[in-house]
A = this chain, B = another copy of it.
Amino acid sequence: MKKENITIYDIAKEANVSPATVSRVLTGNAKVRPQTMRKIVDVIEKYNFRPNSLARSLLHKQSKTIGFILPDINHPFFSTLVQKSEAFALELGYTTFLCNTMNNSENESKYLQSLVEKQVDGIIYLGGRINDTDTDQEYAEEMKKVMERVPVVFVNGQMSGVDAHIVRTDEESGVEMLVELLVNLNHKKIGFLGGLEGISSTDVKKNTFVNVMENKGLGVNKGWVLDAGFSIESGEEVAAKFLSLKERPTAVICANDLVAIGVIKVLTKFGLKVPDDVSVVGFDDIYLAKHFPPGITTISQNYDQLGQTAIKVLVDLINEKEAKKETVIPTSLVLRDSCKIFSEK
């Protein structure tokens, strides 16, 4: 059995007051005679009493809790974003439930249910199914049902048929900046490595890449656009394919920094120097980007702003205020040493 819980009744009895009065000093919602107050506070401290927030939430029908759904807490992009968002939520008086789905769709459903049952006041969806370019309609239905009960904000994602509030990074302009940079550095043969087809962030980036290149009158060789995934290992894998290319690009844009790291690692291992032989750029500006030699030129996600805005929108929804349906967060270019001007040898 559990140790017997102390309740406001116990406190009340010992302080010779009514439970209501104890409650009043706990919440500070009504005036209590200083004398009475002191007596009660003493007893509370004596027993080290803490009010049961479950009971409180049950009564108020709000838990002051926000749930986060994310695919992988180990990925620096998510851990950073979570950290920023969480800190801000805390300032606003919300605690958070982190649901790390480990890229598993079943977990995602379970957690979604669990958050509803736990009566969270709102949900921040950082990743998972909302990243699929083509929405599975079953998931969409599930999502809609959740949204009937709990406000939800999607970060860097969407679901077709689901009318959710969205906060997203301006990935298009990020990729544009990268292409501009490389082209200005005289690169004409540019590839795009990593990511996964069908995942929206990848598709958006790839499409933007192709469009911008064409606008500049530079073709894109299909063989230079290679999928793989989002991890360092994916980068290694795709770099191997890159190496086996008959004609190689002189510069590559990677789907994210981890991929860039994997790519650089393998190229280096096989004797290609970055940036001397190949220029490599990434995306996200995770903390490793500046540390991994030679230092990766990348696009910085505005983690603070992204996280804060998401929370802000969600809290507005919770309080039934109006909130912008879609907010786009700008990115910025971070120059480091993984790319340089191209010159024929």
Contact = CB atoms under 8 A, between A and B. Distances in A.
A27 to B, nearest CB: 13
Nearest to A235: B291
Contact of A61 (B2, B48, B86, B291): B2
Given A54-B54, A54-B58, A74 B79 contact: yes
A95 B82 contact: no
Interface string A27-58: 00000000000000000000010111111011
A265 B287 contact: no
Contacts of A119: 52-54
Contacts of A53: 114, 117-119
Interface residues of A, number: 51
A73 interface: yes
Contacts of A302: none
Contacts of A261: 291
A268 interface: yes
A291 B62 contact: no
Contact of A73 (B3, B57, B82, B97): B82
Contacts of A58: 52, 54-55, 58
A232 interface: yes
Given A61-B5, A83-B100, A117 B52 contact: yes
A218 interface: no
A149 interface: yes
Contacts of A92: none
Interface in A6-35: none
Identical copies in the complex: 2
Interface in A46-101: 48, 50-55, 57-58, 61-63, 73-74, 76, 79-80, 82-83, 86-87, 95-98, 100
Contact of A63 (B50, B54, B74, B98): B54
A102 B54 CA distance: 26
Given A53-B117, A54-B58, A118-B54, A3 B95 contact: no
A243 B281 CA distance: 31
A322 interface: no
Contact of A97 (B87, B97, B116, B288): B97
Which of A62, A82, A87, A100 counts the most B-chain CB atoms under 10 A from its CB? A100
30 contacts: A1-B320, A3-B148, A3-B149, A5-B61, A48-B145, A48-B149, A50-B113, A50-B116, A51-B117, A52-B58, A52-B117, A53-B118, A53-B119, A54-B57, A54-B58, A54-B63, A54-B119, A55-B58, A58-B58, A73-B83, A74-B76, A74-B80, A74-B83, A82-B100, A95-B114, A95-B118, A262-B291, A265-B291, A292-B292, A293-B293
Given A52-B117, A54-B58, A55-B58, 15 more contacts: A1-B320, A53-B118, A73-B79, A73-B82, A74-B80, A74-B83, A86-B100, A95-B114, A96-B98, A97-B97, A232-B287, A262-B291, A265-B291, A288-B288, A292-B292
